[in-house]
Amino acid sequence: MGVILIISGILIAVFLSFFFIFLPIITKPKVSLWLGDSLFSADVVIDETGRNKGLSGVTKVDPNAALLMVFPHESKWGIWMKDMKIPIDIVWLDKNKKVIYIEKNVSPSVSDSEIFEPKSLAKYVIEIPAGMVDKSAIRVGRVAIFQINEEGVE
């Protein structure tokens, strides 16, 4: 009887781990994102936890991969490099998906307290591998093309 209880407990723990830890990773929404001259496959984060994490801890990003952070409203959303392992380009978009500010080749070695922020209000922030802004001809004033469901943005 005790062995059955222990096995049941282990199975429940495994199921809960999958449900709360691995399922959100597996089912993270992706969108096609046209930015500059390139098409990116972008993971979308709409919650504060995902936006705070960004690409922290990631050791490699495919050249045409991106992280699209969706914010609840326009503001001067700051990005930091805490726990970053790779250099990135950061692109801020306004509510009309127009590029309003760019930081290129931001090194993971910058101070954890340094915050990069746009000069005007942004609704979206995109993190892409360093060098892709130049390779993709991404410039201030160009418009990104993507479709997302913003329901549930916090």
DSSP structure string for 9-59: HHHHHHHHHIIIIIHHHHT--EEEEEETTEEEEEEEE-SHHHHHHTTTT--
User: Alpha-carbon distance 145 to 98, whole Å?
Assistant: 9
Q: What is the pLDDT of residue 154?
A: 55
What's the number of domains the chain is made of? Answer: 1
Confirm whether 143 is domain-assigned: no
Instruction: Tell whether 141 is covered by a domain.
Output: no
* Predicted pLDDT of residue 87: 92
> Is residue 66, in this structure, part of any structural domain at all?
yes
CATH number at 81 reads 2.60.120.1140
pLDDT digits (tens, 9 = 90+) for 124-142: 999 999 999 999 999 999 9
Query: Is the pLDDT reported for residue 16 higher than 70?
Result: no
Mean pLDDT, rounded, for 15-35:
64
Q: Using one digit for the tens of pLDDT, what is the confidence trace for 93-104?
A: 999 999 999 999
Residue 117 has pLDDT above 80, yes or no: yes
Residue 44 in any domain: the answer is yes
pLDDT at 133: 97
Instruction: Report the relative pairing of strands 99-106 and 115-116 from DSSP bridges.
Output: unpaired
Could you tell me if residue 142 is inside a domain? no
pLDDT recorded at residue 54? 82
The pTM for the full model equals: 0.78
- What's the pLDDT tens digit per position in 38-93? 999 999 999 888 888 888 778 888 899 999 999 999 999 999 888 788 899 999 99
Q: Is residue 37 part of a domain?
A: yes
85 in a structural domain: yes
**Rounded mean pLDDT of 112-124?**
91
The whole domain housing 95 covers 29-135
